Amino acid sequence: MRRVSLHDVAAAALLLALALLPLYTQLTGNFFLLTLFTRIVILALAAVSLNLILGYGGMMSFGHAAYLGIGGYAVGMLAYEHVYSGFVQWPVALAASALFALVIGALSLRTRGVYFIMITLAFAQMAYYLIAGLARYGGDDGLTIQKRSQFFAPIDLSDKTQFYYICLLLLYGAIYLVWRLVNSRFGMVIQGARSNDIRMRAIGFPTYRYKLACFVIAGTLCGLSGALLANQADFVSPAMLYWTRSGDLIIMVVLGGMASPVGALFGAVALLVLEEALSGITEYWQIILGPLLLLVVLFARGGIDGLLRTLGGKVRAKAGT
Amino acid sequence: MTLFIEQCLNGLQFGLLLFLLAAGLTLVFGIMDLVNLAHGSLYMIGAYFAATFADWTGSFLLGAVLALGATLLVGMAVEVVVMRRLYGRDHLDHVLGTFGLILFFNEAVRLIWGAEGLSLPLPSWLNTAVRILPGFDYSAYKFSIIVVTLAVAAFLYVLVMRTRVGMLIRAGASNREMVGALGVNIKLLYTLVFGLGAALAGLAGLMQAPILTVQIGMGENILILAFVITVIGGIGSVRGALIAAIFVGVVDTLGRAYLPELLRLVLSTNAAATAGPALSSMLIYLLMAVVLVVKPEGMFSAGGK
């Protein structure tokens, strides 16, 4: 049997803590914390989906927030047209994100490296302008959602605790899905293409198709996160898919540790809690966050996940095993 | 017809301004293999410096010159403190590190100059129209932007292709170690190149300042346009950047001016009014998609450099 490492303990503790959080808020009545963590859980879902292509696939997409916006606007626009059923809204959100990912991916994956970064960024910005130009749906000002997605009787997204658990369940489901995916044959091909695309093609894998499929899966998952985010905020605006949001998602993935199933979750929690804490200290909190990011890039390359693994390794080395 | 010529000139002027940004971006990428998202911050800082110095000295030109020097210094300082440590790292590290720099610069500007934008008023001698063709007047300021940027493009060409420093830059781009081994101070060279890129961005910012307001985040949207240009033109190619920049500038300006009217011929007035603005702001991205389908490495890719 595999030894339980510090990393696994920390991951399990975080997963458990998130599951027990509503209990704490019920006892203390601190509902701000629940709202904050609902947002964190939703954005963690987006980060997990980005980790699939960025961490495992080596595809440096700088346009991942586009799917947040597309998923969110699918919900927002349908609600505006008085279609409230979640059974319509959510599949539309997923399908729209998948379609966008398919088109963008098919074009962007023709390129590599820095071109890929810039192209995904430009396409996401294109989606931003498109949505900001929709005068019927609020344009730049965004769109208020009157009613959250409706499902059958006991499920009520307006109930804070219930909504939190739905988001959490979807997040854990996504983490499991990504974990299963990257350990499958499909995932091995994706990871092989990250290390050496030419060699993978030489041994007969059509890596372009594999990567495109992976890109579409990640986009669809992020679209789900967008649909949740729209429900959480009761509001959608073009800011959801502004390019800095894509940057935030990349930060979460890298800060948490790339190519680790729970890394993106670590990163999302760390970044958003840090933002919350810093903005409590000073109005100019980004002047601290910016250089902090730079330091992480320069000196802590494995992110939190890597740090936990190294620390765990050191403890074990001291114990003499 | 005169309106059409004016729109074309506006497009040319915007394109040349974009070229200043794209040239810095592509030089830094081509030579140091560095993706610099914070390039737009230098554009913003150039504009803020110009507005401040022009206010202090009371002279537009003096303010512009001082701002240019100050942006150059900021650029070189950024290179020495931060960028130097990022060479040879993964592109993802560049993206993240420079993203951190953007946050820092935006917030620093907000701390120093406040959240409201500044304005840089034009002196009266530039705020007139000149007759460039019989019966056709054009804004003197926009015309002078065209002249200045063309001069800068010529200067860049001479600097890179015809001088000793340019020779070292090109040599450094193809083999860093070898140039270093031959006794050239490659670190200093890189600092200079980065400073040059920063100054170009600052120049673009300060020239754009009188036309738009000077505000936080002004560098971000235009940076993405500069990315599109480098992708279309081929990364590392200054010549490609110039051609692509003019192309993008003209297409974008003409698209915004005429696309809604063209759509009205095909669609109903109502639909055209809705689709027009959205479609015209998407136009250059669609253009980029077409270029990518045809030539994934850009139109004028440096290829073998």
Question: Looking at the complex, does the CB of residue A239 fall below 8 Å from at least one CB of chain B?
Answer: no
> Which structural domain range is residue B190 located in?
2-129+140-294
- The answer to whether residues A122 and A241 touch, using CB atoms and an 8 Å cutoff, is no
3-state secondary structure of A144: strand
Q: How does residue B33 score in pLDDT terms, banded at 50, 70 and 90? A: confident
Give A246's contacts in chain B (Cβ within 8 Å): none
Q: Which of B89, B80, B37, B67 is nearest to B199 (CA)?
A: B67
How much is the pLDDT for B212?
Answer: 85
Give the pair of three-digit tokens for residue A270: 């760390």
Contact B110 A250 (CB under 8 A): no
pLDDT digits (tens, 9 = 90+) for A256-290: 988 888 899 999 999 999 999 998 888 888 888 88
Which of A258, A286, A288, A296 to probe the B interface (max B CBs under 10 A)? A286
B300 lies in a domain? no
Amino acid A138: pLDDT: 84
Closest CA to B189 of B202, B199, B176, B174: B176
Q: Rg of the Cα trace of chain A?
A: 20
Q: Please judge whether B104 and A286 are an interchain contact, meaning their C-beta atoms are less than 8 angstroms apart.
A: yes
Chain A contact probe: residue of B282, B284, B290, B299 with most A CBs at under 10 A: B282
Residue A316's pLDDT band (cuts 50, 70, 90): low
Per-residue confidence band for B303, with pLDDT thresholds at 50, 70 and 90: very low
pLDDT for residue B304 is more than 50: no
Which tens digits make up the pLDDT trace of B100-156?
999 999 999 999 998 888 888 888 888 888 877 777 788 888 889 999 999 999 999
Counted residue by residue, chain B has a size of 305
Check CB contact of A107 with chain B, cutoff 8 Å: yes
State how far the alpha carbon of A252 is from the alpha carbons of A20, A269, B150, B210, B239, in Å.
23, 8, 42, 38, 37
Mean pLDDT across chain A: 90
**What average pLDDT does the segment A153-161 reach?**
85
CA distance A142 to chain B (A): 15
Across chain B, the runs of DSSP E, i.e. the strands, are 129-133, 136-139
Q: Do B231 and A123 touch (CB under 8 A)?
A: no
* The dihedral sign for the CA sequence B167, B173, B174, B177: positive
| Residue B303: inside a domain | no
Residue contact A284–B281, C-beta within 8 A: no
Best of A60, A73, A110, A114 to mutate (most B CBs within 10 Å, chain B)? A114
Which H helix or E strand runs over A236? strand A235-236
Among A108, A126, A195, A301, the strongest candidate for a mutation testing the B interface, having the largest count of B CBs within 10 A, is: A126
Closest CB from A60, A110, A296 relative to B296: A110
Which chain B positions have a beta carbon within 8 Å of A298's beta carbon? Answer: 85-86, 97
The residue to which tokens 């809604």 are assigned: B260
Contact A285, A279 (CB under 8 A): yes
Nearest to A118 by CA among B118, B39, B257, B203: B39
pLDDT at B69 over 90: yes
Distance from CA of B270 to the nearest CA of A (A): 12
Q: Residue B301: inside a domain, yes or no?
A: no
How far apart, in whole angstroms, are the C-alpha atoms of residue B87 and residue B67?
27
**A315: pLDDT strictly greater than 70:** no
B15 or B122: which leads in pLDDT: B15
Q: Which residue of A has its CA nearest to B33?
A: A114
A133 touches chain B (CB under 8 A): yes
Domain presence at residue B265: yes
Least CA distance to B34: which residue of chain A? A114
User: With an 8 Å Cβ cutoff, are A294 and B82 in contact?
Assistant: yes
A54, closest residue in chain B (CA to CA)? B92
Indicate the residue of A117, A289, A291 with minimum beta-carbon distance to B91.
A117
- Any idea how long chain A is? 321
Q: Cα B100 vs. chain centroid, distance in angstroms?
A: 20
Are A122 and B296 within 8 A, CB to CB? Answer: no
Inter-chain touch B228–A289, beta carbons under 8 Å: no
pLDDT value at A321 more than 70? no
Beta bridge partners of B133: B136
Comparing alpha-carbon positions, the chain B residue that sits nearest to A301 is B93
Dist CA B136 CA B138 (whole Å)? 7
Q: Which residues of B touch A113 (CB under 8 A)?
A: 91
Per the CB < 8 Å rule, is B285 touching A126?
yes
The radius of gyration computed from the CA coordinates of chain B, to the nearest angstrom, equals 20
Domain count, chain B: 1
Q: Is residue B76 part of a domain?
A: yes
- Give the C-alpha separation, A310 to B245, whole Å: 48
Tokens of B151: 């001069």
Q: Which pLDDT value is given to residue A170? A: 96
pLDDT above 90: residue A172 = yes
B112: CATH: 1.10.3470
CA distance A291 to A287: 7
Mean pLDDT taken over chain B: 87
List A residues 243-282 in contact with B (Cβ-Cβ < 8 A): 243-244, 247, 250-251, 254
Amino acid making up residue B222: I
CB-closest option in B85, B104, B285 to A290: B104
Contact (CB<8Å) A62/B95: yes
**Three-class SS of residue A288?**
helix
Residue B302 reports pLDDT greater than 60: no
Average pLDDT over residues A8-17: 90
On whether any CB of chain B is under 8 Å from the CB of A83, the answer is no
Give the pLDDT band (50/70/90) at residue B305.
very low
User: Is residue B280 very low, low, confident or very high in pLDDT (cuts 50, 70, 90)?
Assistant: confident
Distance of CA B268 to the CA centre of its chain: 37
Q: What ipTM is given for this predicted complex?
A: 0.86
| Residue carrying the six token digits 């003019």 | B246
Q: What is the pLDDT of residue A318?
A: 62
User: Could you give the domains of chain A?
Assistant: 6-319 (1.10.3470)
Q: Mutating which of A54, A103, A109, A294 best tests the B interface, going by the most B Cβ atoms within 10 A?
A: A294
CB pairs under 8 A between A and B: 125
Query: What mean pLDDT comes out for the span B51-77?
Result: 93
Whether residue A215 has pLDDT greater than 60: yes
* A135: nearest CB among B95, B274, B297: B274
- Within 13 Å, how many C-alpha atoms sit on residue B23's CB side? 31
Q: Which residues contact A42 (CB under 8 A, 6 or more apart)?
A: A167, A171, A225, A228, A229, A232
Average pLDDT over residues A189-200: 92
pLDDT of B18 strictly over 90: yes
Give the per-residue pLDDT at B78. Answer: 94
Is the CB of A115 inside 8 Å of chain B's CB atoms? yes
- In this prediction the pTM is 0.89
What's CA B252's distance to the chain center, in Å? 15
Q: What is the pLDDT of residue B44?
A: 95
DSSP-assigned letters across all residues of A223-234:
HHHHHHHHHHHT
